[in-house]
């Protein structure tokens, strides 16, 4: 059956060949047993067992030869096993081309803006805090030589602060992370922003802005945060850190309700 199993695919023989030889062996086995019981080999040839005297039978010689053959086979197998275990084997390295995948380097002038936390008393200003963070992101995108993670990727980590800033920054492939919070109460607005260097999980800059809730103040805070970030990253890049305004946010409307509806729609 082992010979058939090897030769069938080698010779492209049909599947029924295996079944044929299996059935032939199953049927032939009892026939072979019957013939071996009924007949015996003698120096004069094959004779019926009852016609062969004990002195003329060569069963003992045949059995002894078979014993020696089995013993010799066991010795050969033992030598092979011992040799395979104790003789040093030559290891041939497989001919496989290994392609090294270089990790994407993290640029020093890269940043991700995470959604700001809503700290309002009623907790219903999430749209407003998200909108502030998105507006700051849109301002930073316009800064030359500054790599900003996309809104979809950055905001995808909303509610996953437990991962830690270094892990989030690694997944976004950025060096810095801006996070913050927004608290709106009555006519007062408080925005806190924190710039973190993810390589050592240390704060580079943090600031809290307490202003009256007007569109002018909202846009002014965005302007200040964006310019402070550029200033801090300029120091990292070797800039002079003069703090001169580099980006400016234009207030498109003075209507606070209209601006809030815009943020809510976004």
Residue 91 covered by a domain: no
Residue 114 has pLDDT above 90, yes or no: yes
Q: Are residues 23 and 154 in the same domain?
A: no
Q: Look at residues 51, 85, 119 and tell me which one is the last residue of a structural domain.
A: 85
Q: Are residues 80 and 137 in the same domain?
A: no
Q: Are residues 144 and 260 in the same domain?
A: yes
Q: Are residues 44 and 142 in the same domain?
A: no
The most confident of the ranges 91-95, 109-113, 248-252, 255-259 is 109-113
Weakest mean pLDDT among 5-9, 21-25, 176-180: 5-9
Q: Are residues 149 and 230 in the same domain?
A: yes
Q: Are residues 72 and 117 in the same domain?
A: no
Q: Are residues 139 and 204 in the same domain?
A: yes
* Domain count of the fold of the chain: 2
Confidence at 42, pLDDT banded by 50, 70, 90: low
Weakest mean pLDDT among 6-10, 55-59, 108-112, 114-118: 55-59
Whole-number pLDDT of residue 61? 62
Q: Are residues 245 and 134 in the same domain?
A: yes
Q: Are residues 29 and 128 in the same domain?
A: no
d(CA 237, CA 27): 87
Whole-number pLDDT of residue 236? 39
Whole-number pLDDT of residue 238? 42
Whole-number pLDDT of residue 104? 62
What's the domain range around 20?
Answer: 2-85
Query: What pLDDT digit, counting tens, does each position of 219-248 carry?
Result: 888 888 888 888 888 743 344 444 444 555
Residue 135 has pLDDT above 90, yes or no: no
Residue 180 covered by a domain: yes
Query: What pLDDT digit, counting tens, does each position of 186-214 carry?
Result: 888 899 999 999 989 999 899 999 988 88
Residue 102 covered by a domain: no
Q: Are residues 69 and 199 in the same domain?
A: no
Residue 252 covered by a domain: yes
Q: Which residues of 36-72 are buried (b: 16+ CB within 10 A; e: fewer)?
A: eeeebeeeeeeeeeeebeeeeeeeeeeeeeeeeeeee
In percent, the amount of the chain with pLDDT more than 90 equals 17
In percent, the amount of the chain with pLDDT more than 70 equals 71
Q: Are residues 172 and 229 in the same domain?
A: yes
Q: Which is nearest to 224 in space by CA: 108, 135, 114? A: 135
Threshold 0.75, pTM exceeds: no
Residue 101 covered by a domain: no
Residue carrying the six token digits 């120096």: 43
CATH of residue 230: 3.40.50.10070
Q: Are residues 243 and 153 in the same domain?
A: yes
Query: What pLDDT digit, counting tens, does each position of 57-84 carry?
Result: 556 566 677 677 888 888 887 887 777 6
For all residues of the chain together, what is the average pLDDT?
78
Q: Look at residues 85, 119, 144 and tell me which one is the last residue of a structural domain.
A: 85
């Amino acid at each position: 059956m082992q010979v058939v199993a090897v030769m069938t695919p080698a010779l492209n023989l049909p599947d029924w060949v295996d079944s044929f030889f299996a059935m032939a062996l199953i049927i032939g086995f009892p026939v072979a047993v019957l013939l071996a019981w009924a007949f015996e080999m003698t120096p004069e040839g094959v004779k019926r067992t009852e016609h062969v005297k004990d002195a003329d039978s060569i069963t003992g010689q045949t059995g002894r030869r078979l014993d020696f053959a089995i013993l010799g086979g066991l010795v050969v197998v033992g030598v092979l096993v011992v040799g395979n275990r104790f003789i040093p084997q030559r290891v041939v390295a497989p001919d496989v081309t290994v392609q090294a995948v270089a990790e994407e380097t993290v640029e020093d002038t890269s940043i991700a803006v995470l959604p700001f936390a809503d700290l309002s008393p009623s907790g219903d200003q999430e749209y407003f805090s998200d909108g502030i963070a998105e507006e700051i992101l849109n301002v930073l995108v316009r800064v030359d030589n500054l790599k900003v993670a996309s809104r979809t990727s950055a905001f995808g980590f909303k509610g996953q602060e437990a991962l830690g800033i270094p892990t989030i920054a690694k997944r976004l492939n950025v060096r810095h992370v801006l996070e913050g919070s927004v608290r709106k109460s009555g006519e007062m607005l408080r925005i806190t922003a924190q710039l973190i260097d993810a390589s050592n999980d240390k704060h580079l800059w943090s600031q809290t802005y307490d202003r009256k809730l007007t569109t002018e103040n909202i846009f002014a805070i965005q302007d200040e945060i964006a310019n402070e970030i550029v200033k801090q990253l300029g120091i990292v890049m070797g800039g002079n850190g003069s703090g001169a305004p580099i980006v400016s946010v234009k207030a498109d409307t003075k209507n606070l309700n209209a601006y809030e509806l815009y943020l809510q729609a976004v």
